Chains A and B, each alone.
Chain A
Amino acid sequence: AQSVTQLGSHVSVSEGALVLLRCNYSSSVPPYLFWYVQYPNQGLQLLLKYTTGATLVKGINGFEAEFKKSETSFHLTKPSAHMSDAAEYFCAVRASFGNEKLTFGTGTRLTIIP
């Protein structure tokens, strides 16, 4: 079984500051990991994903995440926050074997302070 824990339901950063959203996962098999963003009254948009290969993954809008197996983490970062980054962010995990579902964390609401 897979599970995801997102530390911090709300994160506030100043415009131009580093964004760090934390995600820890639990998986009985090698995982595939995803970060999705959700803007108000919208569906989910994929920011980036880790499947195999390079552990540092670059996504859209300047976001990146690093898969650290030893720490079972997949934290999302962006060097410089922009007002348009204000949204809800979800980390998700899926087993790399079989037809498993996506399991989501409870989300982190990111607020950008002007």
Chain B
Amino acid sequence: ETGVTQSPTHLIKTRGQQVTLRCSSQSGHNTVSWYQQALGQGPQFIFQYYREEENGRGNFPPRFSGLQFPNYSSELNVNALELDDSALYLCASSPNPGGNTEAFFGQGTRLTVV
């Protein structure tokens, strides 16, 4: 079975631009969560998608938005990029939301905003 894959691996954007990050969930997983990991910090929860619906959101502004597709892959969109958005963005998939299920993480997308 394939794991969680994210694209691109690295990205450089200019302040004010928009960016789309992509995530393919592990086979059989219907839940995708996105996390932001700033340098030297632990990952912080952005939002979760379950069966194409947003299923929980962390303390991030509305310019962070997402989608989940029928094949359970997902996108994270960030509008009006700010310098502080520079971080490693991690996608995690799991067989179902919450509980004791393990979240499997991708390798992340390193976003640099200049």
Contact = CB atoms under 8 A, between A and B. Distances in A.
Contacts of A41: 107, 110
B58 A101 contact: yes
B41 A32 contact: no
A101 B48 contact: yes
Nearest to B43: A104
- Per CB-CB distance, the 9 closest pairs between chain A and chain B, nearest first, are A104-B42, A51-B100, A99-B98, A43-B105, A101-B45, A99-B97, A44-B105, A43-B107, A106-B42
Interface of A: 4, 32, 34, 36, 41-46, 49, 51-52, 90, 92, 94-96, 98-107
B contact residues, range: 20 to 34
Contact of B107 (A42, A46, A106): A42
Contacts of A99: 48, 50, 55-56, 97-99
B106 A43 contact: yes
Interface string B19-35: 00000000000000101
Contact of A44 (B6, B50, B55, B90): B90
Given A51-B100, A92-B42, A104-B35, 7 more contacts: A42-B107, A43-B106, A95-B98, A96-B99, A101-B58, A106-B40, A107-B41
B113 interface: no
Contacts of A102: 33, 35, 43, 45, 92, 103
Interface of B: 4, 6, 33, 35, 40-45, 48, 50, 55-56, 58, 90, 92, 97-100, 102-108, 110
B112 to A, nearest CB: 14
Given A99-B55, A102-B45, A107-B42, A49 B100 contact: yes
A90 B107 contact: no
Most buried by A among B4, B102, B103, B106: B103
Given A43-B106, A101-B56, A90 B99 contact: no
B110 to A, nearest CB: 8
A51 B83 CA distance: 38
